[in-house]
Amino acid sequence: MRLLFVGIGGSIGSMLRYVVYHSMLGFNGTWFPFLGTLFANLLGAFALGWFTSRLILSKKLPDDLAAAIGTGGIGSFTTFSTLSVELSSLLQEGQYFLAISYVFMSMMGGLFCAFGGFRLGQRRVVAS
C-alpha cells in the first residue's frame, strides 16, 4: 500500500516540478539557463527540511502519508538527474564558470534551504 502512496505523491510532485520549471522560463531570460530546476531543487530542499522536522520526526503523520509526501511528492519535485544533465550540457558547451556556479548554488543553496526549513519546522507555534 505504501508503494501506491509514494507513486501518487510522485505523480503530483513531478507535475508540480513541470509547472514550476515552465513558469520560471518567463523570468529566466538568457542570464541563467536552468533557473527552473534550481528553484525547484532549492524549494524542495526547504520543504523537505521543514516537513521532516515538523511532521515526520514528531510522528504527526501516518507512515504511508509521510512516505507519499516526503519520498513521493518532494522527492520527485526535486531532481538530481536533471541537475546532472544540465551540468553536463554546460560543460559540453564549455561554460565552465556557469557550471561551477550552478553546482555551488545547487549544493550550498540546497543545504542552506534544507537547514532553514528544518529549523523553521522545529519552532513551536505560539498561540496569539
Number of domains in the chain: 1
Residue 109 pLDDT > 90: yes
Q: Supply the DSSP symbol for 125.
A: P
pTM of the model: 0.86
Return the residue matching grid coordinates 564549455.
Answer: 94
Residue 9 pLDDT > 90: yes
Asked whether residue 95 is assigned to any structural domain, the reply reads yes
Asked whether residue 77 is assigned to any structural domain, the reply reads yes
**Between 120 and 27, whose confidence is greater?**
120
pLDDT given at position 35: 86
Buried/exposed 18-49: b ≥16 CB within 10 Å, e otherwise: eebbeebeeeeeeeebbbbbbbbbbbbbbbbb
Q: Quickly count: other Cβ atoms within 10 Å of residue 115's Cβ.
A: 13
Asked whether residue 26 is assigned to any structural domain, the reply reads yes
Q: Tell me the residue range of the domain where 10 lies.
A: 2-122
Asked whether residue 127 is assigned to any structural domain, the reply reads no
Q: What is the pLDDT of residues 68-97, one digit of tens each?
A: 999 999 999 998 888 999 999 999 999 999
Closest CA to 50 of 114, 99, 126: 114
Asked whether residue 128 is assigned to any structural domain, the reply reads no
Asked whether residue 28 is assigned to any structural domain, the reply reads yes
Q: What is the pLDDT of residues 10-53, one digit of tens each?
A: 999 999 999 998 888 777 656 677 888 999 999 999 999 999 99
